[in-house]
Amino acid sequence: MSLSSLTIEPALIDRYGRRIDYLRLSVTDRCDLRCTYCLPKGFKDFEEPKHWLNFDEIERVVAAFVRLGVRRVRLTGGEPLLRQGLSDLAARLSSLPGMKDLSLSTNATQLVRHARALKQAGVSRLNVSLDSLQSDRFAAIAGRDVLGDVLAGLAAAQAEGFSPIKLNMVVQPGVNDDEVESMVRFSLKQGFILRLIETMPVGETGRQSGFLDLQQVLRKLAQKFDLTPSALELGGGPARYWQNRDGDFTLGAITPISQHFCATCNRVRLSVDGTLYLCLGQEDKLALRPLLRSGISDKELEQAIRNAISLKPERHEFREQPSKVVRFMSATGG
């Protein structure tokens, strides 16, 4: 085989040698819940719709990322199902040449109405936020008692064949940390992957929610449910996984504070207004919307993305400077 016949796949490599192949795409900063660690009660300072990237602009940016070697895209928010026409956008993105994995993060309150259309549009996997199985506690955390809607949404997703379905539980001390074992049993019974997440100090709400080191929690769960570390790679994200002896339950942990994963970070985030955030815990960013609306060419867009990736910081500073990031999580994208 001659060298000229070899196909060299494009790649985004940052200055620390990390390959960036995962884009988390926020389609809205609005949400129908007010989870205590994400948005404060009464918050109304959302981005104006005229500043949102429209679907043509989103498709153009994602296509540029895919040409540069990104293979995984996750639709996020806010609550992405609040963006009108989301399944149409998903269909456009899933059909891009080179796209291998289109997934969605959701609180599932709207999922009953959208599950079928999303599956038909090419969304293959779901991450569902679920912090409690107790209605009163769910309402205290999320601001509304819609646990029944979430559970119905999960059932609808299973009926449509989404797999895997991951439950994301943000574990907060004195709030829901006593419910972890119940969530494990629920996930085992229903066939869900459970992922436990440490609260991150993003915005004032994140800092006020309190931090629980998950390492001790994980040791107890491993012993109680006979879990052993697994080399599973599920979705390209930062979770570490364990499985039980029978292989019918998988537990994941996302531990940005107690055991950060910055050395292997493979992702960037695009907010609803077209801001490319290079690190969840830093302020490094690039505003793409002005470039898109000034008539930038595709080649210039690709070069702008490459230039931004070259500035991706080595790591967050959640421990050293917990008050550094003032934007709320919903503004960045999940």
User: By the 8 A CB rule, do 212 and 172 touch?
Assistant: yes
For the stretch 127-151, pLDDT in tens is: 999 999 999 999 999 999 999 999 9
Q: Tell me: pLDDT of 207 over 70.
A: no
Domain count, the chain: 1
Torsion, Cα 121 67 330 199, to 10 degrees, reads 100
pLDDT (average), residues 295-314: 95
For residue 93, the enclosing domain spans: 3-332
| CATH code for the domain in which residue 235 is found | 3.20.20.70
pLDDT of residue 4: 45
Instruction: Evaluate if pTM is beyond 0.85.
Output: yes
Read off the pLDDT of each residue in 67-85 and give the average, rounded to a whole number.
97
Which residue type sits at 256? P
The answer to whether the CB of 325 falls within 8 A of the CB of 285 is no
Tell me: pLDDT of 236 over 90.
Answer: no
Is the pLDDT at 65 greater than 90, yes or no?
Answer: yes
What's the pLDDT tens digit per position in 15-64? 999 999 999 999 999 999 999 888 877 778 889 999 999 999 999 999 99
pLDDT for 2 equals: 44
Give CA–CA dist 140/82, Å, rounded: 22
